[in-house]
Amino acid sequence: MTSAVQQSRRSGTVSPQMSRDHRIDFWRGVALLTIFINHVPGSVFEHLTHRNFGVSDSAELFVFLAGFAGAVAYFPKFLSGDRLVATGKVVQRTWTLYLAHVALMLAAVAMFFAAAIHFKDTHWLEAYGLDALSTEPVRGYIGLVTMGHQIGYFNILPLYVALFALLPPILWLATRNIWLPLAASVGLYLLSHLAEVRLPTYPTGGGWFFEPLRWQLLFTIGFVAGVFYRSGRPIGFNPVAYGLAVAVVVAGAVVALFGLHPHEGALPLPAFLWSLDKSSMPLPRLAHVLALVYVVAFAPYGLFDRMVERLGPNTAAVRIGRHGLALFCFGSLAAVLGQIVVRAAGGDPWVAAAFVATGVLAHVMMAMGLDAWRSRVAAARGGAGPAPAAAPATVPAPGAVRASV
């Protein structure tokens, strides 16, 4: 069978610059807003996010979209032979993510410790792994800078750094055959689980909360889907596959709504085959997020696809998703402030709800400001290219649109 990569080389469908598809930004924006809402406990809104209706959440969606977007952004240049430049861009992005993580952690720790001083509340010296920084600051800050120590709610950027560090070998394997990175990814996933290999934490024991050697499988699957989409041959609809995906989504809803989470040691099988542990990306969570993506992508009558198209590139979620890293950092620190405010208010759900609603509005306003700033910079450079909020110059075929979810 001829690979998608080989066909892309012959047809040239990968080489031309593809216009930005606002549908990808829309779902990234939804994931970012959901992460913020879930990170301010106590509001009524956290009970409405999709983690309450399935066994995966916005973290899985975000990682899948990262792999998908990575293929769209970097693979065409890598495939065209400009591998040094493409690799350099990936390394630059990885370094940016690392710097953002360190800056974000320092800012969050400062906010938590300031709350401990102001409110005379030792909770903020102990919660979320902060005790390693307050009782062992030397080792704790070494762990922070080396990503060996990650406080609660700030685990996902280290995962992103690790995943983007894996992207160059994924790109290299994909140029040979698109299925090679997926095969290597499955092998690494199984090795990590069966041999219990994990990246260690420091100075505390244990391993990373989001284990990169396991989460990389979802990232790689997203990458492969992005390569097919970018080559003009998106993953298509299959009625049997769709029926199975619907069954998985329904089963996930039943488990979540009725609290049917299996307890430790429930089955005499390796835990990754049946557990729902978020940190280790077990198969049920992996299957659920992929099934959910497939169900949404091929919903009857293009329900979600048409909805996103009608909303257009200037809707709030698209604007937020267009500035993913900046809005993620903003939302993370806003969530820290929200946790402090809600605790100071005695856990009042009305205070939590008001803060979350204000935070969502602040996300939208910041995204609009970043769009305006980007447009002004583009105009100052001579107006090259459309403004960020402009509609794509070319609309992908219906199958490609669905695959972008």
Say if residue 398 is preceded by a cis peptide, omega within 30 of 0. no
Between helix 179-194 and helix 156-176 the angle, nearest 10°, is 130
The whole-number pLDDT of residue 265 equals 82
Q: Which H or E run contains 216?
A: helix 212-230
Cα separation, 183 vs 188, whole angstroms:
9
Task: For the chain, list residues with pLDDT below 50.
Answer: 1-17, 384-405
Do residues 381 and 399 touch, judged by C-beta distance below 8 A?
A: no
CA 64 remoteness from chain centre:
6
Q: Using DSSP, state whether 200 is helix, strand or coil.
A: strand
The string of pLDDT tens digits covering residues 184-237 is: 999 999 999 999 999 999 998 889 999 999 999 999 999 999 999 988 888 889
Model pTM score:
0.89
The whole-number pLDDT of residue 383 equals 55
CA 267 remoteness from chain centre:
30
The one-letter amino acid code at 82 reads: D
The whole-number pLDDT of residue 405 equals 33
The whole-number pLDDT of residue 305 equals 86
